[in-house]
Homo-oligomer: A and B are copies of this chain.
Amino acid sequence: MNSRDLLPMGEISSRSGFAASAIRYYEAEGLITAHRSAGGQRRFERGVLRRLAFIRAASNVGLTIEEIRDELARLPGNRTPTKADWHRISKHWRKRLDDQIAALQRLKGGLDNCIGCGCLSLRSCAFSNAGDWAAERGPGAQLLPDTLRRPHPVKRDSSS
A5 contacts the other chain (CB 8 A): no
C-alpha gap A139/B157 in the complex (Å): 9
Q: Please, how many angstroms separate the alpha-carbon atoms of A59 and B142 in the complex?
A: 9
* A129 contacts the other chain (CB 8 A): yes
- Check A140–B59 contact: CB distance below 8 A: yes
Instruction: Among B17, B59, B83, B137, point to the contact of A118 (Cβ < 8 A).
Output: B83
A73: chain B residues at CB < 8 Å are: none
In whole Å, how far is A72's beta carbon from the nearest beta carbon of chain B?
Answer: 12
- Cβ-based interface call for A138 (8 A): yes
Bound CA span A6–B56, Å = 52
Interface contact B53-A120, CB-CB below 8 Å? yes
For residue A127, which residues in chain B have a CB less than 8 angstroms away from its CB?
57, 60
In the assembled complex, A7 has its CB within 8 A of some CB on chain B: no
**Chain A residues proximal to chain B, CB less than 8 Å:** 15-19, 22, 49-50, 53-57, 59-62, 64, 81-83, 86-87, 90-91, 93-94, 97-98, 100-101, 104-105, 107-108, 111-112, 114-115, 118, 120-122, 125, 127-131, 134, 136-144, 146-152, 154-157, 159-160
Closest 3 CB pairs of A and B: A17-B130, A149-B151, A59-B140
